[in-house]
Amino acid sequence: MAEQEKDVAQTPEGTEENTGQATEAAETAQETEEVEAAKIQEDEDSCEEAEDAEEEGDEKGEGKKSWAEKRAEKKQAKQDKKTEAMKEQIEQLEDKVKRQLAEFENFRNRTEREKQAMFETGARSVIEKILPVVDNFERGLATVAPEAQNDAFVDGMNKVYKQLVKELDNIGVKPIEAVGKEFDPNLHNAVMQVESDEYESGIVAQELQKGYTYRDVVVRHSMVSVVQ
């Protein structure tokens, strides 16, 4: 009898414990169901938002671009940038070539002018050395007596003189006109002043030494006397 009473006394406590565990399990299951229901609702809301956004994009005519289209656009933009850089580089090279050609043309022209100037300087130097020979020919022929004009030697010297003068004329050596012309300090060198009934003041009355120009540049001034 004592053991049966003990069992009866313990039975209500065990029943109460089992009942608590069942209640806790039920509450846990309900919470789990509520969490899953909230998650499902959230997923449904996300799907609805995505569908709404897609419908809105379709209404505006702005459909989403695919990955391939985006990649193609990016590649095209990169190619355009590269092409623009190449064009700029080509323009720079063309400009550089043009400047170099212009510099070379200027150098060639300058070199040609310097070469011509050196040639002219050398030619004038040679002409200056030949002119005294011409002067001696003229002085010698001027002293020949009239009866000796037909002499073979005199005739030969006269022909040499004429040939020399002709060749000088062919290369551009011209005598300066002096007698009867107004005195020009750029062409004439006055060594004396004289009185003259034939010419007015400032006119060249006599040429003491003939002057010459080479291609319009004075090689030797005429030595003259001028009417005072």
Q: Which residues 6+ apart lie within 8 Å of 74 measured at CB?
A: none
* Banded pLDDT at 15 (limits 50, 70, 90): very low
Task: Give ranges for CATH 2.30.22.10 in the chain.
Answer: 174-228
CATH number belonging to the domain at 83-171, selected among 1.10.287, 3.30.750, 1.10.10, 3.90.20: 3.90.20
Q: Is the dihedral of CA 194, 198, 200, 202 positive or negative?
A: negative
**Euclidean distance between CA atoms 222 and 207, whole angstroms:** 7
pLDDT number for residue 69: 82
pTM, two decimal places:
0.53
Q: What is the pLDDT of residues 115-159, one digit of tens each?
A: 988 988 889 999 999 999 999 999 999 998 888 888 999 999 999
Where in the chain are all domains bearing CATH 3.90.20?
A: 83-171
Q: How far is CA 77 from the centre of its chain?
A: 31
If one compares 93 and 6, the residue with the highest pLDDT of the two is: 93
Regarding the domain with residue range 174-228, which homologous superfamily does it belong to in the CATH classification? Head domain of nucleotide exchange factor GrpE (2.30.22.10)
Per-residue model confidence as pLDDT tens digits over 49-108: 555 544 454 444 444 568 888 888 888 888 888 888 899 999 999 999 999 999 999 999
Q: Residues 6 or more apart from 195 whose CB is under 8 A from it?
A: 227, 228
